[in-house]
Amino acid sequence: MEKEKSGKVHGKIPVVFLIDCGITLWMSYFVFNSVFGLIAFIPVYMIHRRFHEKREKEKALDDFFLRYREFLSGLSTGLRAGHSLENSMKDAREALIMLYGKRDGFVNELSKLLRQISMNVPVEEAFRDFAKRHPFDEVLDMAEVLTIGKRMGGNYTENISRAAEKIRQSLQLKSEIKAKSAEKRLELTMMLILPPGILTYIRLCSPEFVETLYQTAIGFAAVLSAIAIYLFAAWWGSRIIRIEV
């Protein structure tokens, strides 16, 4: 699954490159009013690429937890219907295949887990291997529940079903919190687009208003200061709306 995510990230780098070329050309004309503004391409590309890779990793993680939540839901449903743990896992995998196809990364991980079980590897041990490949709290918790539940005995399937449902509800809550923060992210994006938009309008419609900025050292220092303040505001805004869940 890591290889798949890596391929997605690097496969879109040319798109990032083209976008950064456009941003740099815009900055050269509208911000610096000089061909020397093309030098800004290096920091723009480095910052944008890092930001893009981070967003891609976050998206891949969200996709993983979405599928994991659906897997736990199917697992819990199967156990409550009286199916064995192994059969419930198979049913959950079949449901995910219908939604995402056999080539999906998470489905492949489940196939690997079920192959281990079919080779007489204990379920808890196979799931521990799965948790080692994806060492997230929700996955590790489920692996621990399976191990402890097997040792303690009792109503094994009921305990597993209850634990799976609680973990699924926790993931559902995190997903809802992220969805509610999306509105604030959109507001921040609009606020960040507004200053460049105003500058573009002024340069195109009334260029004489900003000509003095490019004719004196003080004006150029003011331009650099404005860029620094803008970048700091963008960074600080992203920190404010970031919700750790």
pLDDT of residue 223: 83
DSSP 8-class letter at 34: S
CA distances from 111 to 11, 153, 169 (A): 26, 27, 24
DSSP 8-class letter at 134: S
pLDDT tens-place values along the chain, 245 residues long: 444 444 444 445 688 788 888 888 888 888 888 887 788 888 888 888 888 888 888 889 989 999 999 999 898 888 888 888 889 899 999 999 999 998 999 999 999 999 999 998 888 899 999 999 999 988 998 888 888 876 665 566 777 888 888 888 888 888 887 777 777 888 888 888 888 898 888 888 888 888 877 778 888 888 888 888 988 888 888 777 776 55
Residue 71 in contact with residue 110, Cβ under 8 Å? yes
190-205 burial code (b ≥16 CB/10 A, e <16)? eeeeeeeeeeeeebee
